[in-house]
Structure 1
Amino acid sequence: MTRREFREHTAKLTFVFEFYPEDEWKEQFEAYADYAEIKEEDRENLWKRVLAVEEKKAEIDSFIDGASKKWRINRISKTDLMLLRVAVYEIKFDLEIPDKVSVNEAVELAKIYGGDESPAFINGVLAKFMTEDKSGEEK
């Protein structure tokens, strides 16, 4: 699976998990993975990534809330929020993915899944993270 596909599946699953209690996540994951025909060798890494995003969700949402001054979390569309969460996770916690790649991929996915204003909104929010390194220090 390509990194883009991995990122897209992660975003979709974080969206799905918004509507189910935690004790049903594994079942929902398996149903999604079967439907999306995700290979067995990719499932474990995808499951781990989705859980990692969910584990950091409160912290990620705090970052998003601080970067989107005029738009509080509860006002951001669920689609935009799922894309932001995955990108912010990558920017803040994944040392292997360059920040610019995370931003670009989130914007490209927003063009597919978001509304007309989604790409610009997501780009604007994520641009605020580009002045810090992974430890929170100024670049």
Structure 2
Amino acid sequence: MKRRELREQIFQLLFRIEFHEEAEMSNQMKLFFEDIEKVVIGETDKAYIGDKFLNICTKLPEIDSIINQIAEGWKTNRMSKVDLTIIRLAVYEMKFDDEVPVNVAINEAVELAKKFGGDDSSAFVNGILAKLA
């Protein structure tokens, strides 16, 4: 899979956090990988998705704190779940993933917002992340 496809899969898995308790997430990961195996996916890609998801989960309180500091007038509990998930992924990549350049993280987040978000999502996501950059 290409990085963009991997990022999209991570977004979809990360989105489940909004609807399930922490104790349920290991089962959700299992279900996610059962679904994704219907598409041809290698073990390396599967490991990459799982590892990055778990790394983001461990940093979630710190990521949300960063978002709440930079999002004037918008706290994480008021954001749409799609936008919040995209921003969380991008903040993780910008702050904690040395393999992803900041401008790539922002661009990919905007593309995810165009694909999965509402009409104003891409502008909202871009505005929040631009403040962080």
Which TM-score applies when normalising by structure 1? Answer: 0.88
Query: Which residue of the other structure, out of 21, 39, 42, is the alignment partner of 1:39?
Result: 42
- Post-superposition offset of 1:92: 0.3
Once the two structures are superposed, the pairs formed by residues 42-57 of structure 1 within 5 Å of their partners are 42-57=45-60
Once the two structures are superposed, the pairs formed by residues 13-28 of structure 1 within 5 Å of their partners are 13-28=13-28
- Post-superposition offset of 1:18: 2.3
Match of 2:119 in 1: 116
- Map Cα deviations across residues 20-73 of structure 1 (whole Å, 9 max, x no partner): 222322221121122122433322221111011111111101111111111111
1:77 partner letter:
S
Helix, strand or coil: the match of 1:126?
helix
Which whole-Å CA distance do the structure 1 matches of 2:75 and 2:19 have between them? 20
Aligned length: 130
Match of 2:73 in 1: 70
Which whole-Å CA distance do the structure 1 matches of 2:26 and 2:47 have between them? 11
Question: Which stretches in structure 2 are left out of the alignment for 5+ residues?
Answer: none
Which whole-Å CA distance do the structure 2 matches of 1:124 and 1:7 have between them? 20
Question: Which stretches in structure 1 are left out of the alignment for 5+ residues?
Answer: 131-139
Q: Which has the higher helix share?
A: 2
Which whole-Å CA distance do the structure 1 matches of 2:44 and 2:55 have between them? 18
1:68 partner letter:
A
- Post-superposition offset of 1:123: 0.2
Which whole-Å CA distance do the structure 2 matches of 1:33 and 1:39 have between them? 11
Match of 1:126 in 2: 129
Query: Which residue of the other structure, out of 39, 61, 64, is the alignment partner of 2:64?
Result: 61
Q: Which moved more, 1:55-64 or 1:12-21?
A: 12-21
Which whole-Å CA distance do the structure 1 matches of 2:44 and 2:23 have between them? 23
Which whole-Å CA distance do the structure 2 matches of 1:75 and 1:24 have between them? 24
Match of 2:94 in 1: 91
